């Protein structure tokens, strides 16, 4: 084997190992993502280490996370509202012990705190206490509510995202998913007509000198950091929208859509223009020979022929918009609520992950819920990539 053959064999093996290594690393990352996300559903509804204690006469066996929140927010005030006895609800938290008992009664190391809690719960038939499990697990005069795991339905169909609530955090992801799709939809609605118009101009109208200047400038937009566009949106777009629509705040879904549309434009223009320039000259000449005008040739021949490439550009633009983090985080208001109008503040999945991951305790329910959001985003982008592959394959056929 001469040196040339040896180098070829060595390079082939290096590329093979590199390919396998990359594939394995990607699979491990996906496996890790799914494993962390699945851990959310092994957590209890009530905060870890704590429990809910009620009077033994209370027939309620368990409560959902939403019911617990409403009870401790005093929006549910009677047990009858949730299928219990007709009795007013009295909530109790551990910090209230120091208001009711002296240090001598509680003990130097809180060794009698469990007895004091039991005394309070036994004395009021409608009381519910949110207390550490270790303090009351051996108390016979009270009953601990059944501990339930977080359900997938409560997460996937929940309409309230409040992962730091006590005693029971809420992980409803619908506001975040809807916010992501809402902003992306309007971004493409804004970017598509402008992107298509510029692509047609560059491909069919502009002369070669203008095209050689404009195309690099448009492609240069892809190199602008998203945080810079976010600053532009915060300084220019947000005040403009606030004054134009007379809004209390300018950080809205529309601001995010405009910034994402600006970010998606280079992809739509570049891919669309390349697709239209691939239209055979013979088809243009045949159209003109049949008496069609230049504009009739564009929208009846060139655009239909290039529709697969144009659609690929639009879908790639959607993929860019869906995964964007910093720019959206800065201009949308970050309100984790169900959006009813594009002129309201909202929050997207990537912005939520970026804003909260640093504050979530590693391994906790909040931390795992953010990985679940990553899984949801993975499926959204995976679907978008499948659409691109399908459209590209159609175009090749």
CATH topology of domain 174-396: MetI-like fold (1.10.3720)
Rg (CA), the chain: 30
Token pair in block for residue 27: 């699979």
The listed CATH number (3.40.190.10, 3.30.420.40, 3.40.50.300, 3.40.50.1220) that belongs to domain 50-149: 3.40.190.10
Average pLDDT, the chain: 88
Q: CB burial class (10 A; 0-12, 13-18, 19+) of residue 362?
A: exposed
- Digit-coded pLDDT (tens) for 64-91: 888 999 999 989 999 999 888 889 999 9
Distance CA 165, CA 171 (A): 10
Query: Does residue 219 surpass a pLDDT of 90?
Result: no
Sign of CA dihedral 261, 263, 266, 271: negative
Q: Are 85 and 59 in contact (CB under 8 A)?
A: yes
Q: What pLDDT is stored for residue 396 in this prediction?
A: 56
Span 262-290, mean pLDDT?
Answer: 87
pLDDT above 70 for 280: yes
pLDDT of 287 higher than 90:
no
Bridge partners for 132 per DSSP: 50
For the four alpha carbons of 361, 362, 365 and 369, in that order, the dihedral sign comes to positive
Q: Select, from the ranges 159-173, 214-228, 376-390, the one with the highest average predicted confidence (pLDDT).
A: 159-173
Domain ranges for the chain, please list them.
50-149, 174-396
Give the closest residue to 139 by CA, choosing from 174, 101, 112, 178.
Answer: 112
């Amino acid at each position: 084997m001469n040196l040339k053959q040896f180098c070829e064999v060595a390079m082939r093996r290096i590329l093979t190992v590199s390919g396998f290594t990359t594939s394995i690393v990607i699979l491990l990352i996906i496996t890790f993502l799914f494993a962390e996300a699945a851990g959310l559903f092994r957590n209890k509804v009530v905060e870890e280490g704590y429990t809910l204690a009620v009077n033994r006469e209370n027939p309620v066996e368990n409560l959902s996370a939403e019911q617990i929140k409403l009870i401790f927010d005093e929006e549910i005030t009677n047990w009858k509202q949730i299928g219990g006895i007709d009795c007013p609800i009295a909530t109790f938290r551990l910090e209230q012990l120091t208001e009711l008992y002296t240090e001598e009664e509680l003990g130097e190391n809180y060794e009698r705190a469990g007895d004091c809690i039991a005394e309070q719960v036994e004395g009021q038939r409608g009381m519910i206490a949110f207390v550490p499990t270790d303090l009351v697990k051996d108390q016979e005069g009270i009953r601990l509510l059944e501990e339930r795991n977080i359900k997938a339905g409560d997460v996937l169909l929940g309409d309230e995202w409040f992962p730091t609530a006590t005693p029971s955090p809420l992980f409803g992801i619908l506001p975040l998913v809807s916010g992501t799709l809402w902003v992306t939809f309007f971004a493409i609605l804004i970017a598509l007509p402008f992107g298509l118009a510029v692509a047609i101009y560059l491909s069919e109208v502009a002369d070669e000198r203008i095209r050689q200047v404009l195309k690099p400038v448009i492609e240069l937009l892809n190199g602008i950091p998203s945080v810079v566009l976010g600053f532009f949106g915060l300084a220019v777009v947000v005040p403009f929208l606030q004054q134009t629509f007379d809004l209390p705040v300018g950080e809205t879904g529309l601001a995010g859509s405009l910034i994402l549309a600006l970010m998606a434009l280079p992809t739509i223009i570049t891919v669309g223009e390349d697709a239209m320039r691939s239209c055979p000259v013979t088809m243009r000449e045949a159209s003109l020979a049949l008496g069609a005008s230049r504009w009739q040739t564009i929208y009846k021949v060139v655009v239909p022929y290039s529709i697969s490439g144009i659609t690929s550009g639009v879908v790639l633009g959607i993929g860019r918009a869906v995964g964007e983090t910093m720019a959206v985080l800065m201009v949308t208001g970050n309100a984790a609520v169900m959006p009813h109008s594009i002129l309201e503040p909202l929050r997207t999945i990537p912005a939520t992950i970026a804003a909260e991951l640093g504050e979530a305790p590693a391994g906790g329910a909040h931390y795992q819920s953010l990985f679940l959001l990553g899984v949801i985003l993975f499926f959204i982008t995976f679907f978008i990539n499948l659409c691109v592959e399908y459209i590209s394959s159609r175009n090749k056929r």
